[in-house]
Amino acid sequence: MTSKNKRPKSALPLAFTEHGVVMLSSVLRSDIAVQTSVLITRAFVAMRQMIANSPVIMSAQLQKEMKELKEYIEDVFADQNDINEDTRMQIELINQVLAELQVHKKLSEKPRRPIGFIRPEED
């Protein structure tokens, strides 16, 4: 890490690439330095290969996941439509029963006698 005081804001941060590791191994001659630089270089090569092959693999995986999600959503919509149909039928039945009760109530309604001893005069 470098501090902001030592490096201008417009300069990119410093980092090793695989070429920098190879150059470092040519400067450092110890066995451990050479082995470490070889391992780091292999890691860079493996990362480059993974990044190069990744879009193809990820694209296929994303397409598979999209297909699964699409099928799941279609199933959910089908279930929801079934529930809506059932609910609609139940509401229609409730409305029919209420209409029948209202008609029955109108037919069975007769004038009630008022409470008390004095009867109203009938015309």
Q: Render each residue's pLDDT in the chain as its tens digit; 123 residues.
A: 455 566 666 777 666 677 777 777 778 778 888 888 888 888 888 888 887 777 777 788 889 999 999 999 999 988 888 888 888 899 999 999 999 888 877 777 766 777 777 766 765
Q: What is the pLDDT of residue 36?
A: 83
Q: What is the pLDDT of residue 3?
A: 57
Q: Distances from the Cα of 35 to the Cαs of 7, 18, 23, 44, 103, in angstroms?
A: 32, 14, 14, 14, 96
**Would the pTM of this model clear 0.95, i.e. be above it?**
no
Q: What is the pLDDT of residue 94?
A: 95
Q: What is the pLDDT of residue 64?
A: 92
d(CA 47, CA 18): 11
Q: What is the pLDDT of residue 5?
A: 64
Residue 18 CB coordination number (10 Å): 16
Q: Distances from the Cα of 111 to the Cαs of 31, 49, 56, 81, 115, in angstroms?
A: 114, 94, 84, 48, 12
Q: What is the pLDDT of residue 71?
A: 95
Q: Are 17 and 44 in contact (CB under 8 A)?
A: yes
d(CA 19, CA 41): 8
**pLDDT cut 90: percent of the chain above it:** 18
